[in-house]
Chain A
């Protein structure tokens, strides 16, 4: 199991290559969509690079559960309800959702996903492999 630093280095390399950003732009606190301008097509690229880099398999919706965010059972008036938040926490144990919980507007989740969340996702995948 690689160390946290090794994981960060590989995640950073994947993001630099996928997003065309500089090394120093990829900090643990940097948000993927906000700071690094990642879009949906980039997530496909990022997932592909992470799979190759760490020899893991990432299913659709594992890193970013778009199925929950588009489910009427969990989303009302553009906001994720309590049941939805519980579901998100279950699906994303690697992510810090406290900020999102305070204002659970659907668009915010993607905006708030950080590089650190991504590193924790990889750790979680490697630990449960």
Chain B
């Protein structure tokens, strides 16, 4: 199970609102247990879709420099059932963006029918430039990859209509292989150390930090 609960944005207006789609497919494991013999989307994962769309909207407003996590589901309500083959449309509206956190109102529709409404609160865990107050969640290239997958830079605009571009943020600095040059340019594995020391090939040139190991 990948932890991507939106498939793509169709609208993304910085600091204001976003629209994202989630296709529901029998190819997803969880549907075969929820419920056995009658698959339907669980409310918790619909909520996560809304939270991911809202979380990226909030995080972008702070230049993706902030750690933004879901702190509270003030209310989430569900109507009817969402079945395989259906597509949900999540609409997110920013309610408030404050130094101490952010709130969004979210809805999930299937066609014209409202399936869910929610109000979500996000905690901000500190500006990276001022010493983050919490753990690091993503490496920049993980986040950039996700943003590209869901089309933030394909549809994203500021309120004045100017396009959002990945180069506007400091995500690429420690970033992708494309930026750093190919493996062939940077020399053989034997020169640069073994995989065991450096990590898998699909990561950016790893620095000497400890690998992801569930540090709390």
Contacts and interface: CB of A to CB of B under 8 A. Distances in A.
Direct contact between A and B judged by beta carbons closer than 8 A: yes
A44 B98 contact: yes
A106 interface: no
Contacts of B101: 41, 44
Interface string B53-86: 0000000000000000001101100000000000
B100 interface: yes
A42 B121 CA distance: 9
Secondary structure of the A contact surface, majority rule: helix
B75 A41 contact: no
Nearest to B74: A45
A113 B123 CA distance: 22
A60 interface: yes
A94 interface: no
Given A41-B121, A44-B121, A45-B121, A60 B99 contact: yes
A40 B123 CA distance: 10
B99 A17 contact: no
B93 interface: no
Contacts of B72: 41-42, 44-45
Given A41-B71, A41-B72, A48 B96 contact: yes
B21 interface: no
A19 to B, nearest CB: 10
Contact of B103 (A17, A40, A42, A45): A45
Interface residues of B, number: 13
A51 B96 CA distance: 10
A98 B74 CA distance: 33
B98 A17 contact: no
B16 interface: no
Interface in A25-71: 40-42, 44-45, 48, 51, 60
Contacts of B99: 60
B11 interface: no
Given A41-B121, A60-B98, A48 B71 contact: no
Given A18-B74, A41-B101, 6 more contacts: A41-B121, A44-B98, A44-B100, A45-B121, A48-B121, A60-B98
28 contacts: A17-B74, A17-B75, A18-B74, A40-B100, A41-B71, A41-B72, A41-B101, A41-B121, A41-B123, A42-B72, A44-B72, A44-B98, A44-B100, A44-B101, A44-B103, A44-B121, A45-B72, A45-B74, A45-B103, A45-B121, A48-B95, A48-B96, A48-B103, A48-B121, A51-B96, A60-B98, A60-B99, A60-B100
